[in-house]
A and B are shown apart, each in its own frame.
Chain A
């Protein structure tokens, strides 16, 4: 490109840059100024402390925020779970030992949530368990099918990939409201079912349907993400394997079971564990969609913790902390499994 109109003798290296670049340069000017001003004291600091001090300087903000808002809360959480009372601040709370856990686990019959002292906890646990089982199974299945289809020779593949990814970006509140609107009595679902002779139904006030809707909506919202990972895994499978199988006249079903699935297994495992970790924490979209109801049919663990700790009167921070620690333990186990799976994959890759 000819550097037309650039000022003669300008020392600026980007004198011929487009107006867009110039605008960006202008916008960045204050940033450069601040960064330049910060240089002097930092140079002095570097002189005094050397590279080690600079490393500390670069790490400090992140570590400070981590420490204060992640690590400290973990420690405090354990302390909280050992205290009772309704006060918020730890200094005003009394030590009760394992009472909160005892209260959570105080059940006449563990198979029946209603016989427990904290029946809401056990109901939410039960709901979460079934939610996790159903949501993860169905979602992985749907994601796998979608990924397999997107992996075929397809016109405009990136468009179709984007189609399934779209809901992933939507906020849980928006997702919840969209589906609440569709599932209500005058909603789109009843309208669609009308020609088939179904009477309008208020779906979300039906216990079974509300739970099904929670599962379905969360699959709708998240499957695109897992599809992407699985698709990446599928595309990493060497094409010559398929060509060889085709030359041998292998049936497609056999190709799937013998080539695709085994080679996709590492990705599939990672995706399953990721989905499990996410599903255990289900809250936002279901909370907006059903509010945990009707009754307690869609009350999940996170909502139980939220309501015990922040909504119920009096607030019971100790009980909420104890419940959240139990949930945290489940997540730690799942994460360790994930790390283990990842490491095994890596080891395999090296071999």
Chain B
């Protein structure tokens, strides 16, 4: 036993535990709970029925009270485990509740009403996943439409971002021309202008060109990201110019050089930008909220916020749809998190 303990607590270099080790593990385990806990809790909650959601204290897993069909009663009745006056327990179905007394019947002998104090009974419960939380918003509300809008915006915006930004980055990294520095400066300067500063004029421009209440009005203003040009340009600068010169000697056109030589070689940076762009566009909220005012055009984020802002919040649907909204990002996190973390650490960009 002592050996096992020694083995478990041994440290590199044979030193014992220092107080900083304890702090480290407390912080890390605490971080694990605080960072993942809320999302996990949300996911568990999303499988609960409205009745289970309204319960306090809440259960961790989704339970429902078992119900039973009893002869002579139209609706199914909830099953309870009741403590009888003689000390025995019996499984009874509740007919109705009057004050603190529940009128119950034995499902096997439904003729006789038994009165039980509500403090003396416990619901009989089983784990059940309320999957209708997921299916109903898709079949009865517009969430399929929202999902489609979100996917359309994300995919289109990402594709355009990749093409437009890589073209600009190519010109800015491989050509010497008048005004190159000016163009660089303009792009840099726009890093300073977040959306919230130009909300009003951007809205009026979008309205003027007829893109209000149009998914393209959400897509276009976001596709020319300075960040994207920056990442790609930095990467393209590392591609040797000799490659381009050789291609020119072989009579390749500049366009061919761009898409046959530069683009394939920039693939890693393009991948990073694509991941970023997908996460950004999927998560966009304020701008779509302003541009889209018709229900059938909402993206998931806007739809969720509108539904959750309603007076009578249907939490069971909101929670389920929040989980759906989370899925792509969680997938990105699981499979591509390494790309992103090294990308950020390398460039300091978000």
Contact = CB atoms under 8 A, between A and B. Distances in A.
A77 B198 contact: yes
Interface in A302-343: 302, 305-306, 309-310, 317, 320-321, 324-325, 327-328, 331-332, 335
Given A145-B27, A186-B56, 9 more contacts: A39-B255, A65-B224, A68-B205, A160-B31, A164-B31, A170-B39, A174-B322, A186-B54, A309-B199
B196 A288 contact: no
Interface stretch (B77-85, B96-104, B137-145, B303-311): B303-311
Contacts of B242: none
B194 A171 contact: no
20 contacts: A38-B255, A61-B167, A61-B168, A62-B165, A65-B223, A68-B205, A69-B205, A158-B341, A166-B39, A169-B330, A170-B326, A173-B325, A174-B322, A180-B308, A181-B42, A220-B34, A270-B348, A288-B308, A310-B199, A335-B192
A71 interface: yes
B193 A171 contact: no
A245 interface: no
A174 B55 CA distance: 23
Contacts of B190: 66, 70-71
A284 B186 CA distance: 27
B205 A35 contact: no
B256 A39 contact: yes
B285 A172 contact: yes
B257 to A, nearest CB: 9
Contact of A335 (B167, B191, B346): B191
B112 to A, nearest CB: 36
Contacts of B24: 149, 152, 154
B350 interface: yes
A122 B113 CA distance: 65
Nearest to B260: A35
Interface string B31-68: 11011101101100100000001111110000000000
B203 interface: yes
B333 interface: yes
Interface in B312-350: 315, 318-319, 322, 325-326, 329-330, 332-333, 337-338, 340-341, 344-346, 348, 350
A51 B254 contact: yes
A325 B35 contact: no
A42 B38 contact: no
Contacts of A310: 199, 203, 290
Contacts of B39: 166-167, 170, 178
Given A69-B220, A284-B286, A174 B199 contact: no
Contacts of A117: none
Nearest to A154: B24
Contacts of B315: 181
Contacts of B279: 169
A68 B205 CA distance: 8
A76 interface: yes
Interface residues of B, number: 95
Interface stretch (B2-10, B125-133, B170-178): B170-178
A331 B189 CA distance: 12
Given A63-B183, A162-B333, A181-B45, A172 B283 contact: yes
Given A39-B253, A66-B224, A181-B315, A71 B186 contact: yes
Q: 9 tightest A-B contacts by CB?
A: A171-B283, A62-B168, A58-B171, A76-B201, A232-B345, A73-B201, A69-B221, A65-B224, A73-B198
B177 A52 contact: yes
Contact of A291 (B229, B254, B309): B309
A146 B333 contact: no
A281 to B, nearest CB: 5
B164 interface: yes
What's the interface size class on A, roughly?
35 or more
Nearest to B168: A62
B8 to A, nearest CB: 13
Interface stretch (A9-17, A105-113, A188-196): A188-196
A20 interface: no
A232 to B, nearest CB: 4
Contacts of B168: 58-59, 61-63
Contacts of A179: 38
Contact of B258 (A58, A160, A225, A287): A58
A149 B328 CA distance: 30
Nearest to B309: A291
B246 interface: no
A264 interface: no
A72 B322 contact: no
Contact of B305 (A76, A165, A200, A288): A288
Given A54-B254, A59-B171, A89-B204, A178 B42 contact: yes
Interface string B145-181: 0000000000000000001110110111001011010
B208 interface: yes
A345 B220 CA distance: 36
A169 B329 contact: yes
B345 A59 contact: no
Contact of A174 (B202, B309, B326): B326
B273 to A, nearest CB: 13
A191 B56 contact: yes
A207 interface: no
Interface in A66-109: 66, 68-77, 80, 88-90
Contact of B193 (A170, A178, A328): A328
